[in-house]
Structure 1
């Protein structure tokens, strides 16, 4: 008979990587998995934040091949491998103004951050899961793959669409070999990155931040729940998918958007 695990021990003896784990949604996921008893590792380009233990941190730019390889090597050296791989890293930094203002460098930056970081890290770490016959991968996509915003996140939306497709393909390949793969598609999450996007839209359009926030809501068609999601709410969904409670869930994508996407 299936029994619910002790929340404080749910991820005990699990070796876990959370990309983007130093801020925003990634930090919420990192803290949630740590609270469940997991052994954690994350990475970022800058110096180690004060609130993360040195044993849990690698300074690496995961938008580059070298950075991904550095994190993968650290995971092998410090933890002996990875049981759960959670990709949260992502974001958009392109200027406001639509497709015409995004040059090749802008496209490459968004694709490397939002797609290739996950592809490369999977390529480094999933083969060991296959050899072991067990493992979990969770990719964080976005509702923008279905409901793209053109003003400031064209390349981001395209990269997330590619990530969702890649996630499905990977699930078909590695599921029979014991590795579960799922994706989560958040809507608007109110993080520091979201605030920065509002500021960029306001600056680019010569409007107030309140007007910029409203423009996002209008472009999304509104949020029926009445608010953006909090990072901790997304972390709970990811933790569920990574846990044994979701042992029969595979090859799926779960939307968490307060009802933003208007279709079934």
Structure 2
């Protein structure tokens, strides 16, 4: 019996694929039959069998160029690009705490890698007559936390707008462009944060999780998403089952965003 979703024969690039939702996506793509290349700043201690890896700093133009060259050399082109890279290192303290350097770091991490890699790889997709680009944004583009994530949220909003524009340009040429917008994901880093916040409040990791959910205004589902749930959505959107979906954004946040 043919599985509901298959990526058999597809060549895929997944950025930041060594931990969290990125690692879960790499693992699922391999299970579904894709040939996968992934990247991070440094090589992890272990990699899933059959996964190709490139160490690259994608916050620089040179790092993006090196990764794009590796995609062409090792995969001979690409059918799926998943831009999983993202995050925030900006300090708390609201807008006044963000200088030009902090703004530049957030844009260089959350927007420019996708712009640069798409510029290098999407023309090949157009030339071959098909492909899928998945931009991983964030619900914070519509639900920013002003104390600490203003620049991150603005960068993700820019990524979403850019993604929509790209979809209008290349969808008529056979390349689908979609967005996945997660809320809080229970990664190792998120668990560590919950443990720290819980301890600071005199409680445990579960107390810390409740504090995080309260800061987000509550999660109706009562828990964060798992990396595997994010990966499942990405895999479906990248597959032929989603063949008429392009230019759209799919929120996976347990109901965190309170509006339609």
Does TM, normalized by the shorter one, top 0.5? yes
2: CA distance, partners of 1:201 / 1:120? 36
Question: Does 113-122 or 93-102 show the bigger shift?
Answer: 93-102
Q: Which of 63, 70, 75 is 2:66 aligned to? A: 70
* Whole-angstrom distance in 2 between the partners of 1:42 and 1:10: 19
Aligned length: 258
Contact 2:43/2:53 (CA < 8 Å) preserved in 1?
no
> How much has 1:219 moved relative to structure 2?
2.8
| 2:174 corresponds to 1:178 | yes
Secondary structure in 1 matching 2:81? strand
**Which residue in 2 is equivalent to 1:245?**
241
- Please, which runs of 5 or more residues in structure 2 have no aligned partner? none
Cα contact 1:96–1:200 (8 A) shared by 2? no
What does 1:196-235 correspond to in 2, within 5 Å?
A: 213-235=209-231
| SS at 1:251 equivalent | coil
Unaligned runs of 5+ in 1: none
How many Å apart are 1:153 and its aligned residue?
Answer: 1.5
1:183-198 map, 5 Å: 183-195=179-191
Cα deviation for residue 17 of structure 1 reads 0.2
* 3-state SS in 2 of match to 1:73: helix
* Root mean square deviation of aligned Cα: 2.2
Quote the residue 1:6 is aligned against. Answer: 3
TM score, norm. by length of structure 2: 0.92
Partner Cα separation in structure 1 for residue 118 and residue 176 of structure 2 = 12
**CA–CA separation in structure 1 for the residues paired with 2:155 and 2:121:** 21
TM-score normalized with structure 1 length:
0.91
Distance 1:106 1:212 in 2: 27
CA distance in 2, matches of 1:193, 1:153: 16
